[in-house]
Each structure stands twice: as C-alpha cells, then as structure tokens.
Amino acid sequence: MRVTKAQAQANREHIVETASELFRQRGFDGVGVADLMAAAGFTHGGFYKHFASKADLMAEASACSLAKSLAAAETLDVAGFIDVYVTREHRDGRGTGCTMAALCGDAARQTDDLKATFAEGIEHTLQTLGEKYPTRPDGAADEGRKKMIDLLSRAVGAIVLSRACPDDSALADEILEVCRAQMFASLSLNEVETE
C-alpha cells in the first residue's frame, strides 16, 4: 500500500518529534538510527526515505525542540522564565526539557551546521527574553541582551551541573536553589536600579 504525501509528512514529523525527545534524553551519540526508528514505530530501512543522514535528523530535531522551547519562553517574563526553568521538575524532565541544557555539550562536538542550528535557537531565546529584561532608562541599548546572556548562561549551567549529580544528591538541589536565588536577586537589584 502506497503512503500518501500527507501521511509521509506526518510520519517524518513523528520521527523528528521522537528523535528530539530521545536525543535530549540520551545525547546524539546515545541514539542509533535503528533504535530511533523502532521508538517511532517504523523500520530501520525507512529512515533514509525521510533523511539523508543522522546528522540531518539531528539538526532538524534540534531546531524543532529549540523552537518549542522558545514558544514556551515567549509567554513568560524573565522572572517567570527563571521560575519554570531552574527547577527540579525541569532538571528531571530530560526528554521534554530544554534542548540547550540537554545537548549544548554534544552540539559543541558536532558539525558547523548543527552548531549553527543551536546558535540560531540561542539567539532567538536571547532576543525574546532580552526584550523583557528590565533595564535602566539611561542604560546602554544592549544592556538587556548582556544581562540575558548572563542569566541564560546561569540557568542552563544550573540545570547541566544539577543533572551531573546523582538524582538523590543534596548537591543537585543546592545548585538549583542557589542559582535560582541569585538570579532572582539580580533581577530585584536591576529593578531597583531602574526606578
């Protein structure tokens, strides 16, 4: 039975979604094509009907999950972002959490094309949240962006460091608690400066 173009597109999207979750859970090198296709409910042979290579799928799956993370961030102010991002729930939700926290370390060892996908996702996140960052009326034009680079780096770093600890580790929780508190304190300090 022939697959319609619409069904083939739906199948491709399902593979991308499945890959996005598996890559965030296991890393790019922790997922083989056969395992990925089995998880998506397809045979290994069907992979190359949809993608030229695993690298192509890695880039597409990363772009998909980065866009979803950005869509979620667009609904939040900076304090709301911190409140949702630097949490135990996010830390434990590897497959559904932020692509940057899950895969930036892996992306650093991949092709320039994949790095470009990550750079675009990071840039969009910085622009979106940077516009919402409270800045002084007399501050430099790029003040919000600089502060958001600092804040995003701390948020991603907090999740990465916490995930590197055993799940039941007190240190894992301490990292999140300290980083959250410091990030909120920097927001409060900045808001006082803008008044």
What integer pLDDT is reported at residue 146 of this predicted model?
A: 87
Rg for the chain, CA atoms, rounded: 19
Find, among 52, 51, 50, 18, the residue nearest to 35 by Cα.
18
Question: Phi, psi (5° rounding) for residue 14?
Answer: -65, -40
What integer pLDDT is reported at residue 4 of this predicted model?
A: 87
Residue-level pLDDT, tens digit, the chain, 195 residues? 677 888 889 999 999 999 999 999 999 999 999 999 999 999 888 898 899 999 999 999 999 999 998 888 888 899 999 999 999 999 999 999 999 999 999 999 999 999 999 999 999 999 888 887 766 666 676 777 888 999 999 999 999 999 999 989 999 999 999 999 999 998 876 554 444
Q: Are 118 and 107 in contact (CB under 8 A)?
A: yes
Q: In whole angstroms, what is the distance from residue 11 CA to residue 49 CA?
A: 11
What integer pLDDT is reported at residue 142 of this predicted model?
A: 77
Q: Which domains does the chain have, with CATH numbers?
A: 5-194 (1.10.357.10)
Q: Are 131 and 81 in contact (CB under 8 A)?
A: no
Exposed / middle / buried, residue 109 (Cβ in 10 Å: 0-12, 13-18, 19+): exposed
